Structure 1
């Protein structure tokens, strides 16, 4: 049976998302490579990831309140312009010779603030663009495009641009955010949640937190996401030192490292496209719990077999699991949360899910500096599997069905 088209509004959102994620990918892939070219300290390199993700701890709840109060499309457009101005200014500062490592920390932190508000509004916008029955299909396509742009295109491009200097990474990313804003402006209509009552920002935030805290299923999955992100960020925040540069185990050059990251993009895109099929065949619960379990075990391969011939196919499999699991999680959240609360509950959920990312980066850097990179890898696997075991007691098909909003 042929699925109904998702419509022109979704196509516009999809295009703008792809361009914006290409910009995001250039910054997120390029920043650690820039740091690794300036220092071989695991702590200083991991600090880039920590600074980029720290805004989730500080601003996530306010981002959710804003998304439920204002037009979500206008928020995303305004923040695309903001990041464009920031990165183009950073490119000029890099040409002027501003201290490279401190500049890098400042840029990723400020860009991270915009990302928090933009991402929360973006996930809350999707249910206003497509029907409830189309959510899994829409999220599948969005995730595929995000992953393709973020890693498949951005990773090798960042590896090449590094050779020309930081100003190239910042400048191209700034241009792409400008283009993303221009495309999204074409999305017509009002995208503000229907909220007849007027409340304070503090009350809004409290309502979002309360809904999540008292919702056993969402709470358990949020803790699972936080645990997984802590483990995976600890692992990947120092992986560049294992794989790239003189004296590393795999000894890849920056362009080669960018190509290796493309395998993650390939797998993520495949996983996103396969998500709908896998949910139907395996069930949502199996995907939500089985996917992270498989990812955790696959993380051991680069340590046990530190050769690119083994790591590349492993990353493809790992990313297939990750891409499919992410689609299932996002689609489930959108079905379980009332539309008028979507921004606030999403932000509370992501405060837990993404708030552990800076902690994970610092933990990875600290353990790597105090011991060795191998210890970081094993610790990450143990933490991730512990999170899956804890969530298994609360996640079941019966609980998901019972919790869905009519």
Structure 2
């Protein structure tokens, strides 16, 4: 940690608290919704409220992250969602909580999350040297997994049982503390010195979209990631039906399926921590292609070998390859995109990469209904392999520093 610097230490500590809050809210809000209504459609609105802001606010959040001090954006976003959730907790303690108040709180907190997350990815390269970006992102991803998967879920279950209002109050306090920790970061974190007042926000967003589309590697990475996420949403949207229950192919108990998810989280933490070593051994481009290829091929294992015990090591490798690849992709973007464009291009990239997830989930459900679950799994694997083929042609060898021309294909470099 000493080599990564004091500012990164505060950033990582803030990340730990905010992601613990994310984990509590992600699990606790749907559990509370079930206590208020048994309507599947209404319960599903909680998930929609949590993801809709990414579609609506990702591009404006990126433009703002390239205009203002990125640390200040994160502080204000954390304080805003802390205030919203503490107010919701107070209403819950007074017995005034209902589904619509809950949805409003989740929606407003998620809007703040978009601004906080985009600013956080954009500020990290300003806190560590380029040589340490992959290592720093490995620490961030492992911290996120621990907060979201390991700690958040059991804490949420306990709070729902003992003190339901704390499902909002505890994350609110954690977000507030996360915002205060960011004040320990030294310096200013403005992306560029020149004034942005001469150009509209729409012009800023347009510049980012043009840059992303003209940059062959970034464009291909975004499209490939979008295909992978679409396939993953389709696959895991119906995966539980293949694994759990008497009528399933594998016949596992729900508790055993929970252990599979724990195995996946263990693999993800490990993968995020070893990603830098893998990159040093084989190069960043080869590592990314290899990790995505392994993950795609693993989609075939539960279909071809539906054996309960085999699912645990499969889940570990799933988690490890997915997290390690995520570290490499984020690190590559942070080096490839110029600092003054990082927020906007990051947000445009994530919009493309994540936009297919709700479509994939819907397609997986429809295909599974009419063609059977194996068709979903095999189709998802085929889409993933096609995505690997796309990135193979562009990034197999190396990944480089930022472009000096928006029309040049980058000659990727291994330098950390």
Counterpart CA distance in 2 for 1:103 and 1:361 is 27
Counterpart CA distance in 1 for 2:39 and 2:369 is 10
After superposition, residues 132-211 of structure 1 pair within 5 angstroms as: 132-164=130-162, 167-198=165-196, 199-211=199-211
Distance change in 2, residues 1:221/1:362 (3 Å): same
SS of 1:250's equivalent in the other structure is: coil
Matching residue within 52, 68, 71 for 1:70: 68
Matching residue of 2:51? 53
Distance change in 2, residues 1:271/1:162 (3 Å): same
Moved more, 369-378 or 316-325: 369-378
Counterpart CA distance in 1 for 2:348 and 2:247 is 42
SS of 2:110's equivalent in the other structure is: helix
Matching residue of 2:324? 324
TM-score of the superposition, structure 1-length normalised?
A: 0.86
Matching residue of 1:293? 293
Q: CA deviation at 1:287?
A: 2.0
- Write out per-residue CA displacement over residues 140-160 of structure 1, whole angstroms, 9 at most, x where no aligned residue: 111121122221222333344
Counterpart CA distance in 2 for 1:183 and 1:394 is 40
Matching residue of 1:359? 359
- Write out per-residue CA displacement over residues 67-124 of structure 1, whole angstroms, 9 at most, x where no aligned residue: 0111101111111122222333344455636454x66654443333222111110011
Work out which of the two has the higher radius of gyration on C-alpha atoms and give 1 or 2.
2
Matching residue of 1:350? 350
Matching residue of 1:228? 228
Q: CA deviation at 1:303?
A: 5.4
Q: CA deviation at 1:185?
A: 2.1
1:121 equivalent in alignment to 2:119 = yes
TM-score of the superposition, structure 2-length normalised?
A: 0.84
1:14 equivalent in alignment to 2:12 = yes
The answer for unaligned runs of 5 or more in structure 1 is none
Q: Work out whether residues 220 and 394 of structure 1, in 8 Å CA contact, stay in contact via their aligned partners in 2.
A: yes
Moved more, 261-270 or 131-140: 261-270
Matching residue of 1:219? 219
Q: Work out whether residues 286 and 398 of structure 2, in 8 Å CA contact, stay in contact via their aligned partners in 1.
A: no
Counterpart CA distance in 1 for 2:305 and 2:162 is 32
Moved more, 107-116 or 395-404: 395-404
Q: Work out whether residues 217 and 400 of structure 1, in 8 Å CA contact, stay in contact via their aligned partners in 2.
A: no
Q: CA deviation at 1:234?
A: 2.9
Matching residue of 2:254? 252
Counterpart CA distance in 1 for 2:361 and 2:55 is 14
- Write out per-residue CA displacement over residues 39-80 of structure 1, whole angstroms, 9 at most, x where no aligned residue: 695x77766544422222211111111001111011111111
Q: Work out whether residues 233 and 364 of structure 1, in 8 Å CA contact, stay in contact via their aligned partners in 2.
A: yes
Counterpart CA distance in 1 for 2:28 and 2:375 is 25
SS of 1:70's equivalent in the other structure is: coil
Distance change in 2, residues 1:63/1:216 (3 Å): same
Q: CA deviation at 1:8?
A: 1.0
Distance change in 2, residues 1:73/1:282 (3 Å): same
Counterpart CA distance in 1 for 2:311 and 2:113 is 30
Distance change in 2, residues 1:166/1:258 (3 Å): farther
The answer for unaligned runs of 5 or more in structure 2 is 402-409
Counterpart CA distance in 2 for 1:47 and 1:250 is 29
Q: Work out whether residues 46 and 237 of structure 1, in 8 Å CA contact, stay in contact via their aligned partners in 2.
A: no
Matching residue of 1:83? 81
SS of 2:3's equivalent in the other structure is: coil
Q: CA deviation at 1:9?
A: 1.0
Q: CA deviation at 1:394?
A: 2.3
Distance change in 2, residues 1:114/1:233 (3 Å): farther
Moved more, 68-77 or 132-141: 132-141
Counterpart CA distance in 2 for 1:211 and 1:313 is 41
After superposition, residues 334-345 of structure 1 pair within 5 angstroms as: 334-345=334-345
Distance change in 2, residues 1:45/1:351 (3 Å): same
After superposition, residues 263-278 of structure 1 pair within 5 angstroms as: 263-278=263-278
Matching residue of 1:284? 284
